[in-house]
Amino acid sequence: IATAHIGVALYAIGLPLEISMYRSGHSREAIYLMAGSALMLVIAPVMAMKIQFSPWFNHNDISHCVIAATMLIFCKSAQTGLSQGKI
């Protein structure tokens, strides 16, 4: 159920907003947001194939590492927007 919520929040609502933000001014914030959203797409095949590196580092751990990396990209977007006075 969490995967469905991520899909709705990021791709059904967030991605159209990011694309319109990029089209309106080619902002770096929108590029960071779209890159973070694209990175989140890595989670789907990892979860579907239940990829694991060891019994102690399974698909859930990998997906959380990807989510952490995505959050860093989203924070960079916010930082860029704040430094340019757009947020």
CA distances (Å), origin 62, targets 24, 25, 36, 83, 85: 35, 35, 16, 32, 35
- Separation of alpha carbons 8 and 35, rounded Å: 17
User: Is the pLDDT confidence value at 59 over 80?
Assistant: yes
Q: Model confidence over 21-40: pLDDT tens digits?
A: 777 777 788 888 888 888 88
- Residue among 1, 26, 2, 30 nearest 16 (CA): 30
User: Is the pLDDT confidence value at 69 over 90?
Assistant: yes
- Separation of alpha carbons 87 and 70, rounded Å: 20
